Amino acid sequence: MMASDKRMHYRVGPGGEVSGEITVPGDKSISHRALMLGALAEGDTEISGFLAGEDCLSTLRALSALGVRIEHLQPQHVLVHGVGAQGLSGAASPLDMGNAGTAMRLFMGLLAPQRFDSVLIGDESLMRRPMERVAEPLRAMGARIETRDGRPPVHIHGTPGLKAIEYRLPVASAQVKSAVLLAGLRASGRTRVTEPAPARDHTERMLEAFGVTLVREGPSVSIEGGQRLSATAVRVPADFSSAAFFMVAGCLAAERGLLLRNVGINPTRTGLLRLLGQMGADIRLHPHGASQRGEPIADIEVHQSRLRGIEVPEELVPLSIDEFPVFFIAAALAEGETLVRGAQELRVKESDRLAAMAQGLTRLGVENRLLEDGLWIRGGRGFSGGIIESQGDHRIAMAFSVAGLAARGSIEIRDVANVTTSFPGFLELSRAAGLRIEAA
């Protein structure tokens, strides 16, 4: 590492086999929501399987700053002493959401109807991300919110007495849907949100687990304002999006099979299973009998497979939105061509994931073409070694770590500190599974 460069990097040696049984950390989306709904509930909410990654810790710290007492008893075990719907109090300083887009957008919905003002800020990446998609519907409910050219800092002038709206989402976004539903919880009347395509429904499932009545009608969900939440126990499953890296690793190099334990398989999250299935992957699900508070769970068994390129059906894009970085690694190894369109949302994630993946694949000798809304890849020729810029994006860093299994030389992945936002312990767990990865 150069003296001027204090960032952390990974070096991934070529080849290797993955095997054994592993459990990836808890689900990020569900951990954020468990903290937030636990805070708004009456009574104590015990969360087990909590993801103690930086993103969820940002949510935890923000709720503490808003006057919620939260005991972080063990890394994966949290006790939230709910303050009830009216119980939050204003924070003394801006609330720092770090790298967490979900935290910032859901907090907008949660804080808009409060009696106090709030300011939301984040790290360099988050300060570049679009927030008007949430501010606009909230303003239609009567909220007073200012962004800077559509981006953070977000100034929220608390406005009790929001009015319900009927909102048709312009993009399939669980974050926007969730923010409107959270604001709807405090609005007068019935708020209805209609999605253009299904996006993850963890907020809906968890609101129901906290005793809130929702009405789901086809692509719409509605909520009557003024309902109270009652505390409950939440068991967070392992994160499908973190397991995804090992599903692809298994397809590449699990000669004897790899088992991923206790993974959340909510159908609004598992588009990758269908995509890999279409590519010819040998992946077997072993569902657990009872779902945890409405979230289905399975052990996932993966075997080394010969993959073939596919044209990704556009309706599967929102259902696999966070998995595209590692899906592109699978596509680069698959025989033939793979095409993804309708995935322009990838350009406004923690990085521009289409550009970051196209650049990284080119560095590793994979022929590809970057499109406005997707990526075309010619696969089947393996990876050369090379240096990858992660753009500070956790999922880009982890996706290229998996590529090492099928590389002809070492891959150096730069600027990987943000892996801890979603996957603390990634390095250790990857090594345990068989990846030849080390910190550099």
In the complex, minimum distance from the CB of residue 173 to ligand S3P, in angstroms, rounded to a whole number: 3
The least distance separating ligand S3P from the CB of residue 349, rounded to whole angstroms, comes to: 6
**Per CB under 6 A, which region of 15-23, 167-175, 242-250, 423-431 contacts ligand S3P?**
167-175
Phi, psi of 84 (to 5 degrees): 80, 165
Q: Does 418 help bind ligand S3P (rule: CB under 6 A)?
A: no
Q: Least distance to ligand S3P from the beta carbon of 102, Å?
A: 4
According to the binding rule CB under 6 A, does residue 338 interact with ligand S3P?
no
Cis peptide before 287 (omega within 30 of 0): no
Report d(CA 266, CA 202) in Å as an integer: 8
Q: Which residues contact 313 (CB under 8 A, 6 or more apart)?
A: none
The binder of ligand S3P chosen from 62, 80, 91, 174 (CB under 6 A) = 174
Among residues 129, 143, 74, which one has the least CA distance to residue 98?
129
Exposed, middle or buried: residue 50 (CB in 10 Å: 0-12, 13-18, 19+)? buried
**Which 308-327 residues touch ligand S3P, going by CB under 6 A?**
321-322
Task: Name the residue type at position 177.
Answer: K
> Could you give the string, one character per residue 192-231, with x where binding to ligand S3P holds by CB under 6 A and - elsewhere?
-------xx-------------------------------
* 161 versus 196: smaller Cβ distance to ligand S3P: 196
Among residues 45, 59, 102, 418, which is the contact residue for ligand S3P, using CB under 6 A?
A: 102
Residue of 123, 201, 322, 352 marked active site:
322
Cβ(377)–Cβ(388) below 8 Å:
no
341 to 400, contacts with ligand S3P by CB under 6 A? Answer: 345
Distance in angstroms (rounded) separating the CA atoms of residues 212 and 217: 16
Q: Least distance in Å: CB of 28 to ligand S3P?
A: 7
Q: Does 35 engage in binding with ligand S3P (CB under 6 A)?
A: no
* Least distance from ligand S3P to the Cβ atom of residue 407, Å: 27
CA distance between the termini of the chain: 7
Q: How far is the CB of 388 from ligand S3P (least distance, A)?
A: 21
- Contact, 318 vs 290, CB < 8 A? no
Distances (CA, A) of 24 to 49, 342, 371, 392: 10, 29, 33, 21
Q: Which of 175, 232, 292, 368 binds ligand S3P (CB under 6 A)?
A: 175
Decide if 201 is catalytic: no
Q: Cα–Cα distance between 400 and 383 in angstroms, integer?
A: 10
Give the interface segment with ligand S3P, choosing from 172-180, 185-193, 411-419, 423-431 (CB under 6 A): 172-180
Interacting residue with ligand S3P among 99, 173, 266, 401 (CB under 6 A): 173
- Spatial contact of 373 and 348, defined as CB atoms under 8 Å apart: no
Q: Per CB under 6 A, which region of 59-67, 75-83, 169-177, 354-362 contacts ligand S3P? A: 169-177
Is the CB of 219 or the CB of 280 nearer to ligand S3P? 219
At 158, give phi and psi (nearest 5°).
Answer: -55, 130
Site size toward ligand S3P, by CB under 6 A: 11
- What's the CA gap between 163 and 299, in Å, rounded? 43
Longest distance between any two alpha carbons in the chain, whole Å: 61
Q: Smaller CB distance to ligand S3P: residue 22 or 348?
A: 348
Residue bearing tokens 């990858």:
388
Which residues are identified as catalytic?
322
Applying CB under 6 A, which residues contact ligand S3P? 29, 102, 173-175, 178, 199-200, 321-322, 345
